[in-house]
Structure formats: structure tokens, C-alpha cells
Amino acid sequence: MSDLGVAVIIEDDTDMRNLIEGVLLQSGFEVHTATCGREGVELVRDASPDVVTLDVGLPDIDGFEVLRRIRRFSNAYVVMLTGRTEETDLLTALHGGADDYIIKPFRPREMRARITAMMRRQRPQSLGGGPSPSPEPSPPVNSSPEDQSRQPVLRHNGLALDCRTRSAAVGGTALELTRSEFDILQELIRGAGAVLSKKDLARALRGEYYREEPSTIDSDERAVEVHIGNLRRKLRDDPESPRWLQTVRGVGYRLATDD
């Protein structure tokens, strides 16, 4: 196995498949390829990859259906690739469990940087619809940002995030969060009420990449909005009277005040 592990490419276009394969090989992955959706699902099952790049427009079943099938048994990082720019595609990909969404055409450097940033984010403990382990109790913590950043369990208004296991619970009931949703909640709790812009949260998800590529931020700011919407739905948080996620109009988001 290569340094970064195993990658699977599911792409029917030969030129695009060769481009992605070159990027991943140079990044240090062992690479396997599939040219259609059903073949790709079985390849993911057999190869147990760390990363999957998945084209939306496949000749047999579309990439969203492939993603749905993969998420039944794999928690690999999944990057969706598409030439379409419709917002519904972005929503469908993120709701389906994709970790990233890249619009073609893209530069090899962009894909390499995104995957590198993504790989730095720890995998969740659970898979599919199974419950995540609930964060274990810990002593009360000081709510200042400096102290919060050192705590293994972050708490706010009955919500607990365990940074060691990357599990979350509200009132002891486990939440099923994606990597991006967990990271956004973690940033907001560690901010202890500071307002974070969509750009701030996109940087938290993507890492140092945005110091070099600020022009790519727009689609990722929209993705942050989607993640916030998903979090509110999972937390059952009323945006008019929030317990956790407060919108600061024209600026960004902050942690709601204590109950």
C-alpha cells in the first residue's frame, strides 16, 4: 500500500480518468479505476479505499446513486466530480454523504490540495445509519476559546462533542454527523460566541489551501450554508430561537448564547 493509502476513481471519461489517476499517484496513493457505477461500487467494496473520486454523470447509474450504495458499507472520503453547476447537485451530494464537490474543469493542483486537506480530518467512528458513540462525561469546562481548544469534550446547551472520537450527542442521544458538520460545530463552539464568516468556516474545512486560492471560495461558502442547514435539521434547532446556531445576517454564524 502507498503512503496515503488506497484511492478508487469512478470515471467514464478516459482523459479525465487519466488526469485524476496521475494526481493521486503523484500524491502517494495506490490507485484503482472503474468506468461505470456498478463496477465502481464493487471496486470500493473489494479495495476498501481511503478516498473515492466519483463522477456524477456515469453511463449506467448516476453518481448520486453510486454514493448512496457506497455509504451503506464504506466511510471512505468521497469527492464528487461534475461538469454541472446546479445548486441541486451540490445539495444532493452533501445530503448523500459526500465529503467534497468539485466542478469540472479543475486544476490538478486544486484536487491535490483539497484531498490533502480532507485527509487531515479524522474519520468518524460510525458508518451508515448506525449510532455514533455518545461522548463520555467530563468535568465542567471553562468556556473561553483558549480553554475550550484544549478540552477533549466540548459542551454547549446540552450538546457535547468528543474531539477524540469525533462523536456528538444532545442530552445523551447520539447525533449522526458528517465530517464537515462536526468540524463546523467544533469551530463554532471553540469560538465561544465569536462570529465566524462563511469564508472562515470554509477555511476551517479546507485548511491552508485558501491562502493560495481565494477565487475558489464561492462554491464552498454555499456548501457551508448547506452544512449549517443540515446541522439545524439534525439538531432540531429553530433558527428563530436557536439553542446552538445563530445567524448573524450579512456576516456569518456564531454560537447561540447559553440557556
Q: What is the pLDDT of residues 188-208, one digit of tens each?
A: 999 888 999 998 888 887 765
Burial (CB < 10 A; 0-12, 13-18, 19+), residue 211, is exposed
Q: Looking at the predicted structure, is the pLDDT value of residue 140 above 50?
A: no
What pLDDT digit, counting tens, does each position of 144-162 carry? 444 444 568 898 888 999 9
Distance, in Å, from the CA atom of 196 to the CA atom of 204, rounded to the nearest integer, reads 10
Residues near 174 by beta carbon (within 8 Å), at least 6 away in sequence: 131, 132, 133, 134, 167, 168
pTM of the model: 0.67
Fold annotation for 5-119: Rossmann fold (3.40.50)
What pLDDT digit, counting tens, does each position of 14-38 carry? 999 999 999 999 989 999 999 999 9
The pLDDT assigned to 124 comes to: 53
60 or 110, greater pLDDT = 60
Q: Are 157 and 259 in contact (CB under 8 A)?
A: yes
Q: Looking at the predicted structure, is the pLDDT value of residue 11 above 70?
A: yes
pLDDT band at 119 (very low <50, low <70, confident <90, very high): confident
14 or 139, greater pLDDT = 14
What pLDDT digit, counting tens, does each position of 200-251 carry? 888 887 765 444 444 445 677 888 888 898 899 999 998 888 999 999 988 8
Mean pLDDT over all residues of the chain? Answer: 82
The pLDDT assigned to 95 comes to: 81
Q: Are 203 and 221 in contact (CB under 8 A)?
A: no
Distance, in Å, from the CA atom of 243 to the CA atom of 63, rounded to the nearest integer, reads 36
The pLDDT assigned to 207 comes to: 64
| Maximal CA-CA distance, the chain | 56
CATH 1.10.10.10 fits 145-255, yes or no: yes
According to DSSP, the residues that pair with 101 across neighbouring strands are 80
What residues does each domain of the chain span?
Answer: 5-119, 145-255
Instruction: Sheet containing 29-34: give its strands across.
Output: 29-34, 5-10, 51-55, 77-82, 100-103
Alpha helices by DSSP H, the chain: 14-27, 37-47, 63-70, 87-95, 108-119, 145-148, 179-191, 198-206, 209-212, 217-235
Q: Looking at the predicted structure, is the pLDDT value of residue 142 above 60?
A: no
pLDDT band at 1 (very low <50, low <70, confident <90, very high): low
Residue type, 124: P
